[in-house]
């Protein structure tokens, strides 16, 4: 564990709780409630504004924006493009989560078009990152077909060409800006048994990016805080339903002592 990213994580978490950043979420219908509750527990303020005509204006006043392609119906696709364009113009950091891209004919070209609008962070599993980098065909729906390390070089290349920080989720998460790379060996497999366990992380990244100047530090801090909270929630090996409730509680409770004791950064 290195001191510098740990200290940056502790400071970033304190800023999130002190500033209560407003996070606009254009996300999939399956995870809206879980995502909003995760942000509230962390100390941020969620706003599920994904209507064309409103998405533009809201992205200009929000602290951060999440664009998640889980269920991209036509109206939401228009709002996503509107919000991403406005966020770029306003300097609002936004997160692209290219859910299930690869062979699917609607979300895949949409993800590439959104990437061109300059997200601050791209977050996905190994297969999604490989597909976005045009180095793979995608996974099985939302499930990754490749391991994190198989996507490491593609992630670094994608970061360099897009200017975004790229976060690859898996048993050991990888965060890179093309020059710096940090691996976070925290978390629990129960996160994969809860709908929204991955998607809510994108919103948490937007909250941290809203209050942290260095987006790389913000992303490492978001992943570390989120996965340490997952470990706290998994103590005693609850079932998935109990874990989901305990995870929201853990996001509210996780603090310096937990981060110092548990953060596994390399």
107 is in an annotated binding site: no
Whether residue 196 is annotated as binding a ligand: the answer is yes
CA distances in angstroms from 138 to 71, 134, 143, 187, listed in the order given:
16, 9, 9, 24
**Do β-strands 45-47 and 165-169 pair in parallel, antiparallel, or remain unpaired?**
unpaired
Write out the DSSP string of 3-40.
HHHHHHHHHHHHHHHHH--EEEEE--TTTHHHHHHHHH
Is 169 flagged in the annotation as binding? yes
CA distances from 20 to 11, 39, 86, 120, 206 (A): 14, 9, 22, 19, 12
Give the separation between CA 223 and CA 213, rounded to whole angstroms: 16
Distance CA 27, CA 42 (A): 18
Rounded distance between C-alpha atoms, residue 217 and residue 260, angstroms = 16
Q: Which residues are annotated as a binding site for ATP?
A: 123, 169
Q: Which residues are annotated as a binding site?
A: 48, 123, 169, 196
Q: Which residues are annotated as a binding site for substrate?
A: 48, 196
């Amino acid at each position: 564990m290195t001191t510098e990213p740990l200290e940056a994580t502790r400071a970033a978490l304190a800023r999130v709780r002190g500033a209560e950043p407003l996070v606009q979420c254009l996300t999939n219908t399956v995870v809206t409630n879980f995502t909003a509750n995760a942000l509230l527990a962390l100390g941020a303020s969620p706003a599920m504004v994904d209507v064309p005509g409103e998405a533009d204006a809201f992205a200009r006043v929000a602290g951060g924006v999440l664009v998640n392609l889980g269920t991209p119906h036509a109206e939401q696709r228009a709002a996503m493009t509107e919000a991403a364009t406005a966020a770029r113009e306003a300097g609002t950091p936004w997160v692209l989560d290219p859910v299930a891209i690869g062979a699917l004919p609607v979300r895949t070209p949409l993800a590439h078009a959104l990437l061109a609008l300059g997200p601050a962070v791209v977050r996905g599993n190994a297969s999604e990152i490989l597909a976005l980098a045009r180095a793979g065909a995608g996974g099985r729906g939302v499930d990754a077909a490749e391991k994190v390390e198989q996507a490491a070089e593609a992630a670094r290349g994608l970061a360099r060409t897009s200017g975004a920080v790229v976060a690859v989720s898996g048993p050991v998460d990888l965060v890179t800006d093309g020059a710096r790379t940090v691996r976070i060996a925290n978390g629990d497999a129960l996160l994969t048994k809860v709908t929204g366990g991955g998607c809510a992380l994108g919103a948490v990244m937007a909250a941290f990016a809203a209050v942290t100047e260095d987006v790389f530090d913000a992303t490492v801090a978001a992943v570390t805080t989120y996965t340490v909270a997952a470990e706290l929630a998994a103590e005693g090996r609850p079932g998935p339903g109990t874990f989901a409730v305990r995870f929201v509680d853990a996001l509210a409770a996780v603090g310096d002592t937990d981060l110092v004791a548990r953060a596994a950064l390399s």
